[in-house]
Structure formats: C-alpha cells, structure tokens
Amino acid sequence: MRIDATQVEDVARELYIRALKILPPDVKAGFARLAQGETDATARGVLGTMIRNIRVAEDTDNLLCQDTGIPIYNVTIGRDVEVDGAELERAIRRGCERATREYPLRSSVVHPITRRNEHTSCGPGVPAIHIGFSDSPGRLVIEMVPKGSGSENNSWLKMAIPAEGVSAIKTFVVDCVLEAGGKTCPPTIVGVGIGGTSDLCVALAKRAATRPLGTACADPEGAALETSLTEAVNTLGVGPQGLGGDSTAFAVHVELAATHITMNPVAVNMQCHSARRASAAFTPAGVEYGF
C-alpha cells in the first residue's frame, strides 16, 4: 500500500477539527461513570455542565473547548506500507496549518522567546509528530491530540533514586494531583511515566495521559499500580474543577520502561476532562476515521 501525501494533508486537517469537536466514546462513558458515583452536590452539578457541553458542541457543531492546544500527531506505520517519511511530515504540517486558517481555529502556538504567533498552529518543532511502527499489514494510523495548556502546564519530572523505591513514585503522583488542584480542569486522566531516561519518562507520561479510558498498562506491575493510584487520588476530594468532590480523576494511567540500576525516574503529565483525540486509519479500502 502506497500512502499519498495529498491525502495525508487532507486527513491531518480533518483530524484536528474532528478532535476539537467530538469526544471519544470512552471519555463520554467515563463521564457517565463518574456522574453516577459522585456524592458531592456541587460536583454533580459541575459534571452535569460538562456533560451538557459535550452535547451542545455536537448540536451546534462547535469546538468543545476554546483551547485548540498544541497539535500532536502520532503516526503508526504497519507492514507493507510504502511512505515517503519526510513528505509525510510536511503533509501533516500543511494540514494542520490549513485547519487553523480555513476553519478558522485560534492558533495557540507562539515562538517560545519572541512569543510571536504565526496564526498557523505551527512553529519550530510544532506540530509534534511522533512516528512508530506496528505489525498490522497494510495499515497506517494517524492519531491527533490537541493538548490543552491547562493540563500541560501541570507536568513534572522527578529523578528519584533506587533507595526511595516505589514509595517515591506513589508519593510523587499524589503530590502532583494536590499541586494541580483545579488548574488542570479535573476530572483528569493522570498520566504517569515510570523508568527509562529522563526524556523517555516524560514521553511515557504523555502516552499514558492520552491513552483511551478503559485500557490498562501492558505490564502487570504497572496495571496494578494504575488501580491503586486511581483509588488513592480519588480519596483526596479535589473534585471536578477543584471545587471539591469524589471525581478528581477518571483514571491514573501508567506507562513504563526499563531504567538504569542507579535510577528511579517518575514523570506526571495530565489530560483535562476534555480528553480530545481523533484518529484515521489508511487501509487499502480507504481512510477510516475513529478515535
């Protein structure tokens, strides 16, 4: 299967807009679950408004949130797929620029020193494009995540040491949730990266924060930690929007990598309640949109 760059550009444009408008079904189900279990009256009201907003966005064909985020595109290339990698990256960038200009979307992206906004949602190194590979034959998937800044501004890395053990990881996650309070637009998906190098650890935290709800860490130790951390952070009472309640996090997600004998790194990256993402699969039958 050969991938056509023009089609990639159109899909990259479409994915940005779709992601901003329609929440994935797993996140909608997450809201229903939290609303059912919430015991605090204010929190129930807050969750109700969030659920209403999802419907209003769909009914009025509008964006869920004003924050168009930093655009991230995750590309997974299967087997027997022929693609010009450099052209693929350029096509994604063009699609992202076109979505911003043509819709029009607020460009939330500026040069980090001059703070100049090119009104394209692009700049040096942005959109973030990550390319990986899979065993799926004849399949290339592009996932788009518009990462909002309220949650992204609450990101942390701690290079703990082996003597501090797994307790350092647990304590760090709880303290990050306390520090974030209402600033991250809870209920959140708390993404935790464990192990690796410092940069890999942070990347794992982002992957964990943007993983669909209802999925578990592939590593059984990581999965067990997800369960206990989810339960623990939801006893803190931060609640939706930091106004109190049981629903502080939809879930804590963990992704891990092996690390050095002298290291014990942990990173936290959060995803807000508007946990937006959209995906498109290129197959021999055509392009199939999903989440």
Partner 1 sequence: MAHHDLTPPISDAQVRALRIEDTVTLHGTLFGIRDANQIALFDRARVTRFELRGHAALHTAPNVRKVVPSAEHPTGYAPVCVGTTTSARMERFTEPLLERLGVRLIVGKGGLGAASLEAFARHGGAYLAVIGGTAALETTWIEAIEDVDLDDLNPESLWKFRVRGFGPLLVAMDSHGGSLYAAVDSKARARRANALARLGVK
Q: Which residues bind partner 1 (CB under 8 A)?
A: 42, 46, 49-50, 52-53, 56-57, 60, 62-68, 103-108, 115, 117, 119, 148-150, 153, 167, 170-171, 174-175, 178, 181-185, 228-229, 231-233, 235-244, 272-274
Select 161 or 178, whichever has its Cβ closest to partner 1.
Answer: 178
Q: Least distance (Å) from partner 1 to the CB of residue 126?
A: 16
Select 83 or 169, whichever has its Cβ closest to partner 1.
Answer: 169
Q: Least distance (Å) from partner 1 to the CB of residue 287?
A: 26
Q: Least distance (Å) from partner 1 to the CB of residue 154?
A: 9
> Which DSSP string corresponds to the chain?
-B--HHHHHHHHHHHHHHHHH---HHHHHHHHHHHHH---HHHHHHHHHHHHHHHHHHHTT--SSS---EEEEEEEEEET-B--HHHHHHHHHHHHHHHHHHTTPPP--B-TTT--B-SSS-BTTBSEEEEEEEEEET-EEEEEEEE-HHHHTSEEEEEE-GGGHHHHHHHHHHHHHHHHTTTT-SSEEEEEEEES-HHHHHHHHHHHHTSPTT---SSHHHHHHHHHHHHHHTTS---GGGSSSS-SEEEEEEEEE---TT-EEEEEEEE-SS---EEEEEETTEEEEE-
Select 68 or 74, whichever has its Cβ closest to partner 1.
Answer: 68
Q: Least distance (Å) from partner 1 to the CB of residue 197?
A: 25
Select 48 or 87, whichever has its Cβ closest to partner 1.
Answer: 48
Q: Least distance (Å) from partner 1 to the CB of residue 238?
A: 5
Select 107 or 264, whichever has its Cβ closest to partner 1.
Answer: 107
